[in-house]
Amino acid sequence: MEGRKWEELNMDILVNVFGRVGMESLLLDVPFVCKSWYKASREPQCWEHLIFPEYIKSDDIWEEDSPDRGFAERLVTTYQENLSVTAFMKFIVNRSGGCATIIKLPKDCTEEALECPRLKALDVVFNNFSMEDIIPKLSKWKSLELMRLGKFHVGLFHMKSVLPQIGLHCNNFIWLSAPHASIEKDEASAIVASLPRLKYLDLHYSFFEKEALVMILQGCKKLVHLDVRKCFGFCDDDAEILELASHIPVFMCEGSGIIPEIGTSYLRDRRLDHELYCDQINHDDCVYDLFDYDDLFDGL
């Protein structure tokens, strides 16, 4: 017997499948198979997870030596236009029709990519714009649950100004990843006071005041996951820290310590730049793939 044809599949099934194939296939493969697949690919539900290629930049769509260069060449060939970053981002966001719930931004982009009122998870690991630009958007992101920042935001992410706004507008927020940060008492106080529902906190490779970590351990009552590995300012065998963290199911502090030749007060006062910081620690196991978008984000 002749099997059922792919193009005759129920539209809801097609949309469910196409929402998982990734941006490149959804733009450059799926729409050209048949009319029903083209129609399905235009449904906003296919564009709920906007995982952008990392290497978009402002003067060209991709860098010459980018791993995503093949995607760029296909995009230009298919659409006969070398899109600017702004145009490309607007094009993709418009496809989502306001339905996007997960966004992973590329290195260079504009604020147009953030016009997504249903946003639940924002990943700006490779993005360079100031986090202050996000503040006006927070009042629209009522559903925001997760935010992941990257090493480029050291000195750009102002917890004392951004976190209170998240606490004010985003009642479902439970996950913050901000590695390479500088956590003193003011930052710790902002985390505790602004994010009472916080369950997941990743601050690995950060500069810490021990008192700040104590404040977080005492104040964040709902934590189930805390990553403070390879931080400066406290020791990973500190009995007080381990006792305070004993109620947290997943607590990771391996490799943290106080460097004798560079005390914590010096680190705090001078706020060494990221390059010096990277020279003094081992990045072999840096956890930049903290989120598995297929598994973790399916639950959002």
Q: Which domains occur in the chain, in start order? A: 6-259 (3.80.10.10)
Give yes or no for residue 99 having a pLDDT over 60.
Answer: yes
> Distance between CA 215 and CA 219 in Å, rounded?
6
Give, for 250, the enclosing helix (H) or strand (E). strand 250-252
**Helix crossing, 159-169 with 185-194: angle to 10°?**
0
Beta-bridge partner residues of 252: 227
pLDDT of residue 226: 96
Report residue 24's pLDDT band, with 50, 70 and 90 as the boundaries: confident
Phi, psi of 175, rounded to the nearest 5 degrees: -140, 120
Residue 65 CB-density burial (10 A; 0-12 exposed, 13-18 middle, 19+ buried): exposed
Q: Among positive and negative, which fits the CA dihedral 86, 87, 93, 94?
A: positive
pLDDT of residue 148: 87
Quote the mean pLDDT of the chain: 77
> Distance between CA 51 and CA 293 in Å, rounded?
9
Question: What average pLDDT does this structure show over 268-274?
Answer: 43
Report residue 110's pLDDT band, with 50, 70 and 90 as the boundaries: low
Give yes or no for residue 299 having a pLDDT over 60.
Answer: no
Q: Range with the lowest mean pLDDT among 33-47, 139-153, 224-238?
A: 139-153
> Distance between CA 123 and CA 114 in Å, rounded?
11
Give yes or no for residue 287 having a pLDDT over 80.
Answer: no
pLDDT of residue 69: 63
Report residue 272's pLDDT band, with 50, 70 and 90 as the boundaries: very low
